[in-house]
Amino acid sequence: MHTDQTLSIFDRETVRLGAESRAFADKTCSSFDTKELARETGAHTRHVLKKAQKRSESGARDIDVEKELSQAAGARPKKFNFRKYTFHSLGDYADTIRQFGTSDSFSTEPVSIFHNVSVIKHRTTNNGYREN
């Protein structure tokens, strides 16, 4: 259970966390050259190969296909992504608790019940889900 005092602390610490995260992104992350993981490189390469195959089947020039393949070679650089929803929403947590209470005081069950009913209604036995 939160009080006005704990929510004030929460607000203050959220601001501090944001400042520390920005400092981390500016100072620490910029000091390292990071690259995507091998599985990310593999997935990207497979995607580009599939795209190149479709283009070559449709009559695209070989030069364009070769260019796409050369861009897929090797691990691409990766930087710390500070602009994700997780970071963006941090400032809203304390206000949300003030407005609705803690997350254990409400449930999304009524919404999920309606979702499950509509999914069951549109389910087919052969191929999963059908389009309306």
> In Å, what is the CA distance from 101 to each residue of 76, 92, 97?
43, 13, 4
| Sign for the pseudo-dihedral over CA of 115, 116, 122, 124 | positive
State the DSSP H helix or E strand holding residue 78, giving kind and residue range, or none if neither: strand 77-78
- Pick from 24, 130, 34, 117: which is nearest to 79 by CA? 34
Structure tokens at 15: 């601001």
**Residue 11 pLDDT:** 93
Across 29-33, 39-43, 49-53, 111-115, least confident range: 111-115
pTM over 0.75: no
Given pLDDT bands bounded at 50, 70 and 90, which one contains residue 12?
Answer: very high
**Residue 90 pLDDT:** 87
**Residue 58 pLDDT:** 74
61 versus 22: which is more confidently predicted?
22
66-113 per-position pLDDT tens digit: 676 676 677 888 888 888 888 888 889 889 888 888 777 666 666 555
Q: Round to whole Å and give the CA distance between 86 and 69.
A: 34
Residue 83's contacts (CB-CB under 8 Å, 6 or more residues apart) are none
